């Protein structure tokens, strides 16, 4: 069961990292530091969007429209933090303590 705990923590950490990369890349694209006409940047951006859109879409459907401000990543960050803390608080269950 300890392996399951560690696998779940790893998955949450990887999602966290991918979201950070996506957010930083979106800032760089919006401030025109990165150009989507470059093939590598466009492929990376498309891949990140395809990975994260299934997480963001249900939350965007629930949240009110805030115009240009997307609050879905913030909500997903909060959910990830809650899940990580819940796993850490129940680690004894996974390790049989």
The answer for residues whose C-beta is within 8 angstroms of residue 80's C-beta and 6 or more apart is 12, 15, 16, 19
Alpha-carbon dihedral angle through residues 12, 13, 17, 20, given to the nearest 10 degrees = 60
pLDDT digits (tens, 9 = 90+) for 4-24: 889 999 999 999 999 999 999
What does pLDDT average to over the chain?
Answer: 92
What is the block-wise mean pLDDT of the chain (97 residues), using blocks of 10 residues? Answer: 88 97 95 95 97 95 89 95 93 77
Neighbours of 82 (CB within 10 A): 10
- The whole model's pTM is what? 0.86
């Amino acid at each position: 069961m300890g392996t399951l705990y560690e696998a779940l923590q790893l998955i949450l950490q990887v999602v966290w990292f991918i979201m950070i990369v996506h957010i930083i890349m979106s800032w760089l694209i919006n401030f025109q530091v990165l150009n989507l006409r470059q093939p590598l940047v466009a492929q990376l951006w498309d891949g990140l969007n395809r990975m994260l859109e299934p997480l963001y879409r249900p939350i965007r459907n629930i949240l009110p429209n805030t115009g240009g401000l997307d609050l879905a990543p913030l909500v997903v960050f909060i959910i990830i933090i809650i899940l990580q803390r819940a796993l850490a608080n129940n680690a004894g269950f996974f390790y049989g303590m």
